[in-house]
Amino acid sequence: MSDLTFISPLVGGLLIGLSAAILILTSGKIAGISGIVGALMQVKNTPKDHYLWRILFIAGLLSSSYVYKFFAPLPTSEISASNSTLIIAGLLVGFGTRMSSGCTSGHGICGLSRLSVRSLVATISFMVTGVIICYLLLHWTKF
């Protein structure tokens, strides 16, 4: 591994920041993915402009792999989790992010950019839990 492996994460991060900047300064919305997806599944008492910007943003996310492939080969996704683990993880991520009103993007990026104490508490909570779970999975289980 070369010493420049931080460049792609840094440039990727700058793009994510740019996206959040565009969304807040042109639409006045926060680029929090769990909030956007969760609100899309609300069907009752939604205002007229409830769906459009969310659908557009998610459409951009969904098509990003396709667009990326025009410029460079898509990096591989290595997934070690079994199907049942994916289901449990998905349920936890869906339920948890709705309960805490945000995920890595809403709290971890937008919230921390605003120096929000609330988002700092959320980010520390999910990071520390993620570290503990990985520790238990990788260094405790013997199967």
Partner 1 sequence: MKNILTLLAGLIFGIGLILSGMTNPANIISFLDVTGKWNPNLAFVMIGAILIGFFAFRRAENKPLTVFNEAIHLPGKTHITKELIIGSVLFGAGWGLAGFCPGPAIVAFGAGLKEAWIFVAAMLIGMILHDQIYLKLAQLKH
Q: Which of residues 83-142 bind partner 1 (CB under 8 A)?
A: 83, 85-101, 103-105, 107-119, 121-123, 125-135, 137-139
The Cα–Cα gap between 105 and 103 comes to: 5
Given the complex with partner 1, which of 81 and 143 has the nearer CB atom? 81
List 46, 50, 67, 143, residue binding partner 1 (CB under 8 A): 67
**111 close to 118: Cβ distance less than 8 angstroms:** yes
**33 close to 106: Cβ distance less than 8 angstroms:** yes
Residue 2 binds to partner 1 (criterion: CB under 8 A): no
Given the complex with partner 1, which of 50 and 98 has the nearer CB atom? 98
Given the complex with partner 1, which of 62 and 143 has the nearer CB atom? 62
Residue 3 binds to partner 1 (criterion: CB under 8 A): no
Q: How many residues bind partner 1 (CB under 8 A)?
A: 106
17-56 footprint of partner 1 as x/- string (CB under 8 A): xxxxxxxxxxxxxxx-xx--xx--xx---------xx--x
**111 close to 122: Cβ distance less than 8 angstroms:** yes
Contacts of 31 by beta carbon, 8 Å cutoff, 6+ apart? 16, 19, 20, 23, 24, 57, 105, 106, 109, 110
